[in-house]
């Protein structure tokens, strides 16, 4: 099929003038009968990659998707473009079902959306005489290496065995190298063509701030962006509601959204956001999957996400129209501890903890954020992005050897039995009940760090942890312990570099939007 033909089909059926990067190659790969793996960021335009081939093929294209809630919308959208599409789930009546079976066997239906759990409904139709292609959306769900594992996906490998000559197109927005290989293997793809689109989103400013006085910071942030749509992701359902309430109290038009709300409440909230009737959504990560709103101008993470895939996906909901948009992540140690707790004793604990470590490293990095993010997805950026907090205002480094010596000897004096908070209180010579109850005021290093503020000390402690000068015993009350590097600093004159704790709450002003 030549280029003019494909462009014509694109324009005639979907109304688009040009293909986006990789779309055409993926489509060609599929229609020439190859297995294909397409990695494309959210909003990159994956749907066309199977919808267009479905129109070229003469039999049915099955689209496997975990997002049952979105199937109807997608199908309605296709029907509105005059494309014969439908979906199957348990809500369909027996007569609907009969009609579908008829349309499939007669070869009139082009696209059928179905969740993997529902495949049994059409088991007898899974034959090469009826099916031209199988598209597997959100293909990372098949891998327990990914972040969104769905057990029902693991059965999908049988499709390729049953239909060895039918091309399979696996699509996902999130896949590190290990997950990619796992998808190929588990789906039994045969020498698949692989297409990996760039994950770079130059229009997204990325910033990380310490998670202190978050509500105050958020109010300031929003007051500088009046009338703009934004999403604030929170870890818990409760905090979405609390935050929405606090924002409303201060005159911001905000709603809460989480999976625990009744379906109609959720639907109304979503509609209101899409139609610009409400500016701010305080939501758990349940919000946003498949929401097609191009003018989200900012995304805030109230809490640390549990991995980079999730973070990338969530910030990616900002600025889909390509205009400048801001993303802000609040980073606190308390969140790390909470997330570690969630990960513990899960079936893939070590994987989850490793992913959390990467997330934490990202948040604490002094280098270009975008470089770090893209490198996670196996992509390298030649130059620093110039559009992140670390690029815009590089942290000022200083010789922190004395600070480190004070902190580490405090840890030693306190017998490696105290948390960051208590160590900082000790260093600052606080006269609180806990310190006195332990008699810490009599120890030698008590109060040697009076000249440094509580906030700065806490930051320096985190930096020391990150650089491995001390460590945190997550399984032992978060006590701070010494490491072999501590010895180097305390007894062998090793120099330590720290970054000044700049007040980032004032550094970035939104750009004027045209």
Question: H-helix or E-strand containing 95?
Answer: helix 94-106
Give whichever of 47 and 307 is closer to ligand ADP, judged by the CB atom: 47
Name the binder of 128 from ligand ADP, Zn ion, none, CB < 5-8 A by kind: none
Sign of CA pseudo-dihedral 434, 437, 441, 446? negative
Name the binder of 47 from Zn ion, ligand ADP, none, CB < 5-8 A by kind: ligand ADP
Give me the least distance between CB of 298 and Zn ion, in Å please.
18
By the rule CB under 6 A, 47 interacts with ligand ADP: yes
By the rule CB under 6 A, 128 interacts with ligand ADP: no
Q: What is the token pair recorded at 222?
A: 């929003």
Give whichever of 266 and 370 is closer to Zn ion, judged by the CB atom: 370
- Interaction residues for ligand ADP, span 240-299 (CB under 6 A): 292
Lateral strand order in the sheet of 325-331: 204-210, 325-331, 296-301, 229-233, 280-283, 254-257
Residues that bind Zn ion (CB under 5 A): 368, 370, 384-385, 388, 391
Which part of the chain contacts ligand ADP (CB under 6 A), choosing from 12-20, 224-232, 337-345, 406-414?
12-20
Helix (H, G, I), strand (E, B) or coil at 192: coil
d(CA 278, CA 255): 7
Structural contact between residues 104 and 60, judged by C-beta atoms closer than 8 angstroms: yes
Give whichever of 320 and 479 is closer to ligand ADP, judged by the CB atom: 320
Question: H-helix or E-strand containing 480?
Answer: strand 479-482
Give me the least distance between CB of 64 and ligand ADP, in Å please.
14
- Interaction residues for ligand ADP, span 48-87 (CB under 6 A): 48
Burial of 477 (0-12, 13-18, 19+ CB in 10 A): exposed
Name the binder of 394 from Zn ion, ligand ADP, none, CB < 5-8 A by kind: none
d(CA 437, CA 263): 52
By the rule CB under 6 A, 40 interacts with ligand ADP: yes
Name the binder of 42 from ligand ADP, Zn ion, none, CB < 5-8 A by kind: ligand ADP
By the rule CB under 6 A, 496 interacts with ligand ADP: no
d(CA 486, CA 481): 9
Which of 444, 454, 447, 436 minimizes the C-alpha distance to 415? 444
Number of Cβ atoms within 10 Å of the Cβ of 437: 8
Give whichever of 210 and 319 is closer to ligand ADP, judged by the CB atom: 319
By the rule CB under 6 A, 16 interacts with ligand ADP: yes
Give whichever of 271 and 292 is closer to ligand ADP, judged by the CB atom: 292
Give me the least distance between CB of 358 and Zn ion, in Å please.
17
Question: H-helix or E-strand containing 37?
Answer: strand 36-39
Name the binder of 391 from Zn ion, ligand ADP, none, CB < 5-8 A by kind: Zn ion
Give whichever of 25 and 384 is closer to Zn ion, judged by the CB atom: 384
- Contacts with ligand ADP: how many residues (CB under 6 A)? 14
Question: H-helix or E-strand containing 208?
Answer: strand 204-210
Helices (H), 291-368: 308-315, 333-343, 349-364
Binding interface with ligand ADP (CB under 6 A): 16, 18-20, 23, 40, 42-48, 292
């Amino acid at each position: 099929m030549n280029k003019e033909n494909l462009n014509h089909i694109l324009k005639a059926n979907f109304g688009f003038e040009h293909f986006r990067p990789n779309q055409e190659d993926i489509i060609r790969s599929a229609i020439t009968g190859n297995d294909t793996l397409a990695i494309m960021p959210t909003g990159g335009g994956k749907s066309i990659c199977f919808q267009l081939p479905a129109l070229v093929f003469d039999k049915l294209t099955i689209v496997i998707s975990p997002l049952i809630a979105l199937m109807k919308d997608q199908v309605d959208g296709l029907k509105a473009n005059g494309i014969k599409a439908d979906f199957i789930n348990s809500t369909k009546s027996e007569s609907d079902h009969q009609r579908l079976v008829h349309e499939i066997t007669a070869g009139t239906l082009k696209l059928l959306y179905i969740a993997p759990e529902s495949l049994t409904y059409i088991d007898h139709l899974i034959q090469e005489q009826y099916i031209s292609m199988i598209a597997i959306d959100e293909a990372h769900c098949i891998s327990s290496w990914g972040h969104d594992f769905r057990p029902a996906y693991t059965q999908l490998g049988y499709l390729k065995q049953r239909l060895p000559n039918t091309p399979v197109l696996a699509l996902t927005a999130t896949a590190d190298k290990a997950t990619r290989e796992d998808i190929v293997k588990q789906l039994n793809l045969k020498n698949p063509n692989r297409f990996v689109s760039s994950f770079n989103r130059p229009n997204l400013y990325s910033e990380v701030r310490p998670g202190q006085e978050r509500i105050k910071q958020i109010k300031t942030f929003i007051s500088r962006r009046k009338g703009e749509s934004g999403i604030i992701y929170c870890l818990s359902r409760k905090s979405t509601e609390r935050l929405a309430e606090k924002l409303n109290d201060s005159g911001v038009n905000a709603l809460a959204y989480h999976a625990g709300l009744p379906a109609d409440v959720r639907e109304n909230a979503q509609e209101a956001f899409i139609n610009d009737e409400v500016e701010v959504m305080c939501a758990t990560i349940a919000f946003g999957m498949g929401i097609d709103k191009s003018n989200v101008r900012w995304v805030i993470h109230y809490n640390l996400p549990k991995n980079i895939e999730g973070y990338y996906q969530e910030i990616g909901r900002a600025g889909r129209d390509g205009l400048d948009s801001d993303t802000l992540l609040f980073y606190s140690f308390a969140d790390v501890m909470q997330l570690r707790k969630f990960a513990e004793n899960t079936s893939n604990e070590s994987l989850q903890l490793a992913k959390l470590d990467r997330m934490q490293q990202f948040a604490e990095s002094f280098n270009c954020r975008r470089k770090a993010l893209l490198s996670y997805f196996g992509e390298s950026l030649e130059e620093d992005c110039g559009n992140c907090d670390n690029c815009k205002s590089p942290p000022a480094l200083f010789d922190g050897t004395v600070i480190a010596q004070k902190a580490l000897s405090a840890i030693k004096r306190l017998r490696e039995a105290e948390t960051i908070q208590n160590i900082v209180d000790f260093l600052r010579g606080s006269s609180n009940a806990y310190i006195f109850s332990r008699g810490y005021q009599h120890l030698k290093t008590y109060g040697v760090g009076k000249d440094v503020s509580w906030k700065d000390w806490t930051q320096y402690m985190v930096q020391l942890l990150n650089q491995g000068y001390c460590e945190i015993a997550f399984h032992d009350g978060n006590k701070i312990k010494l490491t072999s590097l501590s010895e180097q600093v305390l007894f062998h004159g090793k120099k330590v570099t720290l970054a000044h704790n700049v007040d980032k709450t004032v550094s970035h002003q939104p750009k004027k939007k045209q």
